[in-house]
Amino acid sequence: MERRPRRRAVLSTAAATAALGMTGCLQNPDPDGGTGGAATERYTPGDTPGTGTVTILGQFGGQEQEGFEASLAAFEEDTGITIQYTADTDFPNTIQQRAGAGDAPDIALFPQPGGMFDLAAKGMVVPIDVYLDYDQLASTLIPGFLDSARYQGRVYGAPMRMACKSLIWYPRRAYEEAGYATDPATMQELYEITDRIRADGIAPWSDGWAADQATGWVGTDWIEEFMLRVHGPVVYDDWVKHRIPFNAPEVIEVFDLVGDLLKGEGNVLGGTTSIINTPFSEAPLAQFTDPPQAMLVRQGNFVTGFYPEDIQANMDEEIGVYAMPTWEGGFDGQPILGGGDLAALFRLNDDTVAVMDFLSSDAFGGEWAGAGGWLSPHRTFDLTRYSDEITRQVAEIASGAQVFRYDGSDLMPTSVGGGSFWTGMVQWLQDEKTAQQVCDEIEAGWPE
């Protein structure tokens, strides 16, 4: 594969800038910063007694709701506070409507920050530094996580669950028997593994972008992963927040690098046509044929839920995972791309503060972790509480990261992050448009 050595000089400068910029990312916010009209005075326990009941609105139901409620049971018994959780699959619209009508829940669990920021701008959400120990919270979280909840200098949401996307999955037995390395330090080393697998007559990668109306979102993750590694979190933030244009040279550069991998002959099972037509949930299936049709899949921790039942029943023996590596000459540190649920407070009293303090602590979630399907955003969470070794490995990967960044397309305006970026990725992958054309069009359509 082409390594593009001409990029090194540019990348080293970007990496140095990113490293310098990271020193100020998690400072306690200035109380005089943007507040949107929300409370700014530090809350003192006893100022407003609670009612004994705290209402929470979220999006997840089913087994996730069961794990969430199980994790609250001991807290409710110890404090005497009753927590009433309501699941709503149309949460993004429901929370806006209820808050606008003066009927907001005490606490809402936002799966993306955008909706929370909309309400924070209207003064409806209380900044967390009003009622939580900000510095203590920041000290236990994966670095950078709080920045995903920052709006105009204040942080409005406390992370209570995370998703980790920067993961490379492989079929353990076949991969290790072939002698492929399980701990590549850089993407360049991973490219060498790719070359070895291809030389052995196997497709190195399996990838799938098909997702009905959301086809292309997997492609946006690839661009975001490389933006973080090649140019670092400061440039990544500037790009996501449109402080640099979408068609900046750094972005075009990353499209080219992702294209080297995904469009390279023989690199991905079935080529680009297969990528577009394969549902993202089916991409891992090629790893578990006999013999495997492909060895590597890049996807978030949720991908294990799509594995065949016999593989899920024995994940620790069947599946291997490692972090998507750093880029040599890029950001000097291991970044993690992901997402998470952010708990936001609408009503300030002793009971709601107590619940927020628990939800945002590393003591929350043990029962949910044991049931599976949940990751703590805290580096200090007790890893023994996870139900299997593979989840513990993922948690260790996330905990060891130098910086966490939220999925960029989820932070961009919906018309971009859930629209032109998705469709542009499909057009680019199919060579209907060049990277420059796609990025120019996305930039031209960025909302005012």
pLDDT in tens, the chain (448 residues): 544 433 333 333 333 333 333 333 334 554 444 444 455 689 999 989 999 999 999 999 999 999 999 999 999 999 999 999 999 999 999 999 999 999 999 999 999 898 999 999 999 999 999 999 999 999 999 999 999 899 999 999 999 999 999 999 999 999 999 999 999 999 999 999 999 999 999 999 999 999 999 999 999 999 999 999 999 999 999 999 999 999 999 999 999 999 999 999 999 999 999 999 999 999 999 999 999 999 999 999 999 989 999 999 999 999 999 999 999 999 999 999 999 999 999 999 999 999 999 999 999 999 999 998 899 999 999 999 999 999 999 999 999 999 999 999 999 998 999 999 999 999 999 999 999 999 999 999 999 8
Question: What does DSSP assign to residue 420?
Answer: I
Q: Which helix (H) or strand (E) covers residue 57, if one does?
A: strand 53-58
pLDDT value at residue 41: 84
Residue pointed to by tokens 């705290």? 54
User: In Å, what is the CA distance from 19 to each residue of 78, 232, 339?
Assistant: 44, 8, 22
With respect to CATH, is domain 5-17+165-334+409-444 assigned 3.20.20.70? no
**Same CATH topology for 5-17+165-334+409-444 and 55-164+338-406?**
yes
pLDDT value at residue 342: 97
201: left (phi over 0), alpha (psi -120 to 50) or beta: left
Question: What does DSSP assign to residue 141?
Answer: B
User: Strands, E, within 272-366: which ranges?
Assistant: 294-298, 319-323, 335-345
Per the structure block, which two tokens stand in for 361?
């602590």
Report the CATH superfamily, name and number, of domain 55-164+338-406: Periplasmic binding protein-like II (3.40.190.10)
pLDDT value at residue 29: 55
List phi, psi (to 5°) of 47. -60, -45
At 307, the amino acid letter reads Y
Separation between Cα atoms, residue 116 and residue 151, nearest integer Å: 9
Q: Which helix (H) or strand (E) covers residue 100, if one does?
A: helix 91-100
Cβ–Cβ < 8 Å for 355, 83: yes
Count Cβ atoms within 10 A of the Cβ of residue 49 and give its class: 0-12 exposed, 13-18 middle, 19 or more buried: exposed
Separation between Cα atoms, residue 127 and residue 344, nearest integer Å: 8
Question: Domains of the chain: which residue ranges?
Answer: 5-17+165-334+409-444, 55-164+338-406
At 243, the amino acid letter reads R
Q: Which helix (H) or strand (E) covers residue 67, if one does?
A: helix 62-79
Q: Which of 2, 420, 341, 358 is nearest to 157 (CA)?
A: 341
Separation between Cα atoms, residue 43 and residue 348, nearest integer Å: 8
Q: Which of 218, 219, 390 is nearest to 305 (CA)?
A: 390
Question: What sign results for the dihedral spanned by CA atoms 83, 84, 90, 96?
Answer: negative
Separation between Cα atoms, residue 252 and residue 257, nearest integer Å: 9
Q: How far is CA 84 from the centre of its chain?
A: 27
DSSP 189-231: HHHHHHHHHHHTTSEEE----B-GGGTTHHHHHHHHHHIIIII
List phi, psi (to 5°) of 179. 85, 20
pTM score of the predicted model:
0.88
Alpha-carbon Rg for the chain in angstroms: 22
Count Cβ atoms within 10 A of the Cβ of residue 224 and give its class: 0-12 exposed, 13-18 middle, 19 or more buried: buried
pLDDT value at residue 39: 59
Q: Which helix (H) or strand (E) covers residue 249, if one does?
A: helix 249-262
Residue 291: is the preceding peptide bond cis (ω within 30°)? Answer: yes
pLDDT value at residue 85: 98
